[in-house]
Amino acid sequence: MCLAIPAMLVELRADERAVVNLGGIRKDVSIELVPEAAVGDYVIVHVGHAIGMIDPEEAARTLALFGEMSEAAARADAS
């Protein structure tokens, strides 16, 4: 199974690289597949590569679902 997650692009770098914010963690990724991405855009990140763009509303919904799953897993582990 593969997992790609939404992240906000916060900084453009040279050589088709960028920095994204993944829930407070900043990560350097390739934006070779989404050269049109700009600071403030949400991109889908998989294995260090931005593989597509996503609108902010869909990104928020997806991130909220990941948060709910994390909380449910924490509750299950505590029981």
d(CA 47, CA 39): 20
d(CA 6, CA 22): 8
The CATH architecture that domain 5-78 belongs to is Roll (2.30)
d(CA 38, CA 44): 13
d(CA 5, CA 50): 9
Predicted TM-score (pTM) of the model is 0.84
pLDDT tens-digit readout, 5-29: 999 999 999 999 999 998 899 999 9
pLDDT tens-digit readout, 23-62: 899 999 999 999 999 999 999 999 999 999 999 999 989 8
- Both tokens assigned to 62: 């997806």
Strand partners, 42: 8, 54
